[in-house]
Copies of this chain bind each other. A is one copy, B any other.
Amino acid sequence: MPNVSEGRRSDVIAEIGEAAASVPEVRLLDVHSDHDHHRSVYTLVGPSEPLGEAAFRLARAAVARIDMESHHGVHPRMGALDVLPFVPLGATPMQSCIDLAHRVGRQLADGLALPVYFYGEAALRPERRMLVDIRRGEYEGLRATVGSDPAREPDAGPSSVGPAGACAVGARKPLVAFNMHLRTANIGIARTIAGAVRASSGGLPGVQALGLPTSRPDIVQISMNLTDLDATPLHAIALAVRGEAERLGVELAESELVGLLPLSATLEASAAILGLPALGASQVIELAMQET
């Protein structure tokens, strides 16, 4: 799921995606570009070895086409290929993604001279598990301190930052980016609900949430990242936000999904609404057909 610091030039966005999709066995399932964030998220799937090669080609294209000196968007960033998380699907163990992250991270360091920081499950230092800690100060802050501050020494690659910046390479569980909307102009209500549900203020585990305005003055957003769907499934957060909205007397508008959902999240949501806790792929005709 590479996050690239380009969300405006459609030719560059396409070129970077095509570089990755040029690897046989790798498929580019989705590209989500955001103009205000000036950022694109690519969803690539495939077996481990080809996926690593695709990530390298994507990084090479991003480094060639993006100059961090002139990049400015509302989303925090520190490099052309800003973040490169590997996510296990199906029966793939997390360890495969950790190994792949380390292998590809060293390739980026050696082949593209990028400072690389390992994060998430692939972190080599406990203080680098969280992206927010690695990216503190963003591109400009990192450039100013990387050679002198030992705490900012990269895990691989040079101790200096060029115009392509640095890259965080990691492994993590599937993350779902999911935004819910309220029919109100009152941003305070979105912030109140975000505060009630997010983990950091005592809400639900694995939930990051912010109250944000939208381009429509009568709609505000609760922008969420769900980083641990085992701890808090997607439907649980949807019900929690719905409950808070009802309590505050605000109506919900359509939700928004950024990128894709894992199949398990849709089965769990169906199970919850239908009262079928054991609902699995073998109870769904088309999925049962694919099982051996």
Contacts and interface: CB of A to CB of B under 8 A. Distances in A.
Interface of A: 27, 29-30, 43, 45, 89-90, 174, 178, 180, 234-235, 238-239, 252-257, 260-263, 265-267, 269-270, 272-277, 279, 283-290
A260 B275 contact: no
A263 B235 contact: no
Contact of A89 (B178, B234, B269, B286): B286
Contacts of A235: 270, 273-274
10 contacts: A174-B285, A235-B273, A238-B273, A254-B277, A260-B285, A261-B285, A263-B284, A266-B270, A266-B279, A270-B273
Report the 8 A-B pairs with minimum CB-CB distance, sorted nearest first. Answer: A255-B275, A269-B270, A266-B270, A263-B286, A260-B285, A273-B273, A29-B288, A269-B273
Contact of A90 (B89, B261, B266, B286): B286
A68 B13 CA distance: 68
B289 A27 contact: yes
Contacts of A174: 285
A290 to B, nearest CB: 8
A17 to B, nearest CB: 15
Nearest to A237: B274
Contacts of A178: 274
Contact of A267 (B239, B266, B283): B266
Contact of A260 (B267, B277, B283, B290): B283
A277 B257 CA distance: 11
Given A43-B285, A45-B285, A263-B287, 15 more contacts: A29-B288, A90-B286, A174-B285, A178-B274, A234-B274, A235-B273, A239-B273, A253-B275, A254-B276, A255-B275, A260-B288, A263-B285, A266-B284, A269-B269, A269-B274
A286 B286 CA distance: 12
A285 to B, nearest CB: 5
Contacts of A239: 273
B289 A276 contact: no
Contacts of A265: 270
